[in-house]
């Protein structure tokens, strides 16, 4: 089964200073790119791809995979420090992460984000290596009908994210659906709901949307707050000195272990979401976060808990290894990043595909080794970045707000160099401010924006294939029927739970707030 010679060759290739250096460079660039709002793993890898033209196999893979891992984690750094998700997959990290930051526990939040990311990433890599072909076969079972039900199931699972005012949560979800319908019709490609603006023909992109609603919304809110709180004159000298001092509450091993449940959820959800083409790490993060929140209501995820950060971060990093599954098993990339890594492999003379294991065993083993090794580099390099950013996050808002706003503009533009994206981002900034002010939760909007168009696409594709037969479309296979039953069951259970939750909620809230206040005083 294992080609021992090839494995030795791979070890010799990977464990050279040269390769290790490129992994380190990749992770460093990745974390940096990820932490900048708007710049994603895809952009980073695409920009680095030409560099690999002249590199050897192991170094090229090291650079790209290191960058990928770093970027997926890096997004969480600015999400926690500035409430500005560096990448869309870190948006779910904002909820708890930034609340921890404002309570002076930024370092703790950043560390749990790092450890949860690396843990889930590492384990999902191992899963990928062990059962990649099997995972790929499971993914094939998901056709249009199954995917449709899966999306519906995902949306139902996220009921928990709708917050305490149900109508507002639903309003947010409907807004996501509305925004999601802007762009090309999935069957005919005819632009719809574009307000007669040609540049909306392909719809709204996730990056300007997320940057607008989260980053710009948060910064605008801060500006407004600064005006209501009495204007304080800010002297810079002292704070800059503070940047270079160490300190802040760290993370104990016990706290890390206490998140095992959330990390497991993230691992499972992320691995599954990662191997299905077209879903991506943002869905992984939100889904994992939503499930974790629902699984342990007593933990009060969403009020600034490390468990929330752990769930979201484990959920997005666990998609890293599995996105390569369809590429390695069938030669079909499941995501933009996978396509780029596929291109890098081809440039190195190893065409991805089912026969790769026979034809290029050394490349495969090198890839696997780098997948695993990259996590350790992420751990070390991520820590350095985390500390620096935790300190930057403590800069006074008077300094921070203009910088983050500037970065948001740069990010929204640089993502695709599309001038209209900046406009879109700013419009969502004001919508974000309104949502914050009126307490409309952001999560349902993002979720339906991501999932509803896919649900529609798959439903209509299914209807097209089955020539308009709804029953054949919806009940296409035992798997589809199973998923449909799960949707019904889940809706029933969560409605029941909602009612009992309501009863205890009010009492609990008061209690928790009191305990929190006490804890803060004593610490």
333 binds another protein (CB under 8 A): yes
* 77, burial (CB in 10 Å: exposed 0-12, middle 13-18, buried 19+): buried
CB of 182 to another protein, least distance (A): 8
Specify whether the backbone of 237 is left (phi greater than 0), alpha (psi in -120 to 50) or beta.
alpha
> Which residues ranging from 78 to 137 are in contact with another protein (CB under 8 A)?
none
Stretch of 10-18, 171-179, 244-252, 263-271 contacting another protein, by CB under 8 A: 171-179
> Which residues ranging from 28 to 67 are in contact with another protein (CB under 8 A)?
29, 32-33, 36, 39, 42-50, 53
How far is it, in rounded angstroms, from Cα 494 to Cα 156? 9
Binding mask 343-382 for another protein (x = CB under 8 A): x--xxxx-xxxxx---------------------------
CB of 368 to another protein, least distance (A): 21
> Which residues ranging from 187 to 226 are in contact with another protein (CB under 8 A)?
187-193, 196, 198-202, 205, 216, 219-221, 223-224, 226
Answer for the pair 421, 412: CB distance below 8 angstroms, yes or no.
Answer: yes
Please give the structure tokens belonging to residue 479. 């798997």
467 binds another protein (CB under 8 A): yes
How far is it, in rounded angstroms, from Cα 314 to Cα 322? 13
CB closer to another protein out of 372 and 423: 423
Residue choice 37, 62, 144, 280 for contact with another protein (CB under 8 A): 144
Binding mask 248-277 for another protein (x = CB under 8 A): -----------------------------x
How far is it, in rounded angstroms, from Cα 118 to Cα 251? 15
Answer for the pair 213, 445: CB distance below 8 angstroms, yes or no.
Answer: yes
Residue choice 295, 372, 388, 465 for contact with another protein (CB under 8 A): 465
CB closer to another protein out of 185 and 501: 185
The residue among 282, 265, 362 whose CA lies nearest residue 319 is 282
Residue choice 55, 369, 409, 445 for contact with another protein (CB under 8 A): 409
Other beta carbons within 10 Å of 84: 32
Residue choice 128, 436, 446, 450 for contact with another protein (CB under 8 A): 436
Please give the structure tokens belonging to residue 496. 């029941």
CB of 170 to another protein, least distance (A): 5
Stretch of 114-122, 256-264, 336-344, 382-390 contacting another protein, by CB under 8 A: 336-344
How far is it, in rounded angstroms, from Cα 331 to Cα 354? 7
CB of 39 to another protein, least distance (A): 7
238 binds another protein (CB under 8 A): no
Q: Is 40 helix (H, G, I), strand (E, B) or coil?
A: coil
The residue among 70, 99, 104 whose CA lies nearest residue 385 is 70
Residue choice 100, 177, 210, 446 for contact with another protein (CB under 8 A): 177
> Which residues ranging from 145 to 164 are in contact with another protein (CB under 8 A)?
163-164
Residue choice 103, 261, 300, 460 for contact with another protein (CB under 8 A): 460
Residue choice 233, 471, 499, 519 for contact with another protein (CB under 8 A): 233
# binding residues, another protein (CB under 8 A)? 132
Element (DSSP H or E) covering residue 183: strand 183-184
Q: What are the Cα distances from residue 343, in Å, to 25, 52, 214? A: 20, 10, 33
Residue choice 295, 336, 388, 474 for contact with another protein (CB under 8 A): 336
Give Cα 100 to chain centroid, integer Å: 19
Stretch of 2-10, 185-193, 312-320, 365-373 contacting another protein, by CB under 8 A: 185-193
Cα separation of the two ends of the chain:
55
> Which residues ranging from 302 to 331 are in contact with another protein (CB under 8 A)?
326, 330-331
**Residues in a beta bridge with 183:** 192
Residue choice 314, 405, 443, 447 for contact with another protein (CB under 8 A): 405
Other beta carbons within 10 Å of 181: 16
Q: Is 74 helix (H, G, I), strand (E, B) or coil?
A: helix
Question: What's the longest Cα–Cα distance across the chain?
Answer: 70
Stretch of 87-95, 98-106, 148-156, 415-423 contacting another protein, by CB under 8 A: 415-423
497 binds another protein (CB under 8 A): no
Other beta carbons within 10 Å of 383: 14
CB of 7 to another protein, least distance (A): 25
> Which residues ranging from 2 to 31 are in contact with another protein (CB under 8 A)?
29
Stretch of 292-300, 308-316, 370-378, 426-434 contacting another protein, by CB under 8 A: 426-434
Angle at 279 between CA 273 and CA 280, to 5 degrees: 80
Residue choice 402, 482, 489, 492 for contact with another protein (CB under 8 A): 402
How far is it, in rounded angstroms, from Cα 275 to Cα 102? 36
Please give the structure tokens belonging to residue 38. 């708007």
How far is it, in rounded angstroms, from Cα 93 to Cα 288? 11
Stretch of 55-63, 104-112, 377-385, 452-460 contacting another protein, by CB under 8 A: 452-460
Residue choice 433, 445, 451, 484 for contact with another protein (CB under 8 A): 433
């Amino acid at each position: 089964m294992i080609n021992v010679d090839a494995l030795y060759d791979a070890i010799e290739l990977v464990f050279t200073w040269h390769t290790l250096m490129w992994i380190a460079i990749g992770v460093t660039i990745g974390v940096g790119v990820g932490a900048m709002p708007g710049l994603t793993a895809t952009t980073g890898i695409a920009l680095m791809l030409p560099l690999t033209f002249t590199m050897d196999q192991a170094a090229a893979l090291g650079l790209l995979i290191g960058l990928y891992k770093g970027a997926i984690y890096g997004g969480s750094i600015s999400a926690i420090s500035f409430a500005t998700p560096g990448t869309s997959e870190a948006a779910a990290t904002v909820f708890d992460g930034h609340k921890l930051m404002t309570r002076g526990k930024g370092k703790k939040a950043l560390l749990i984000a790092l450890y949860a990311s690396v843990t889930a990433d590492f384990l999902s890599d191992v899963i990928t290596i062990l059962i990649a072909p099997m995972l790929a076969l499971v993914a094939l079972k998901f056709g249009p009908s199954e995917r449709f039900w899966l999306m519906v199931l995902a949306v139902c699972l996220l009921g928990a994210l709708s917050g305490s005012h149900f109508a507002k949560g639903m309003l947010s979800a409907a807004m996501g659906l509305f925004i999601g319908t802007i762009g090309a019709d999935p069957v005919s490609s005819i632009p719809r709901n574009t307000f007669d603006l040609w540049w909306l023909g392909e719809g709204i992109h996730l990056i300007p949307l997320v940057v607008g609603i989260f980053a710009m919304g948060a910064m605008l809110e801060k500006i407004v707050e600064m005006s209501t709180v009495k204007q304080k004159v800010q002297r810079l000298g002292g704070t800059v000195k503070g940047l270079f001092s160490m300190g802040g509450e760290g993370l104990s091993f016990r706290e890390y272990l206490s998140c095992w449940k959330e990390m497991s959820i993230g691992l499972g959800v992320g691995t599954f979401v990662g191997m299905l083409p077209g879903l991506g790490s943002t869905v992984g993060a939100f889904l994992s976060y939503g499930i974790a929140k629902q699984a342990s209501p007593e933990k009060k995820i969403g009020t600034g808990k490390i468990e929330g950060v752990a769930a979201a971060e484990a959920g997005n990093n666990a998609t890293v290894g599995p996105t390569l599954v369809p590429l390695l098993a069938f030669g079909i990339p499941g995501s933009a990043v996978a396509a780029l890594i596929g291109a890098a492999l081809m440039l190195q003379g190893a065409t991805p595909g089912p026969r790769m294991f026979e034809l290029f065993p050394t490349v495969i083993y090198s890839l696997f080794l780098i997948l695993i090794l990259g996590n350790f580099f992420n751990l070390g390099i991520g820590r350095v970045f985390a500390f620096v950013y935790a300190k930057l996050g403590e800069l006074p808002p008077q300094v921070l707000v203009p910088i983050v706003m500037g970065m948001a503009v740069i990010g929204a533009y640089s993502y695709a160099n599309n001038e209209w994206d900046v406009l879109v981002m700013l419009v969502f900034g004001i919508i974000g401010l309104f949502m914050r002010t009126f307490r409309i939760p952001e999560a349902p909007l993002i979720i339906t924006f991501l999932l509803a168009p896919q649900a529609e696409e798959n439903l209509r594709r299914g209807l097209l294939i089955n020539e308009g037969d709804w029953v054949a479309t919806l009940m296409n296979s035992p798997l589809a029927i199973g998923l449909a039953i799960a949707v019904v069951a889940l809706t029933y259970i969560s409605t029941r739970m909602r009612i009992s939750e309501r009863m205890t909620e009010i009492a609990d809230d008061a209690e928790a707030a009191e305990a929190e206040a006490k804890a803060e005083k004593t610490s």
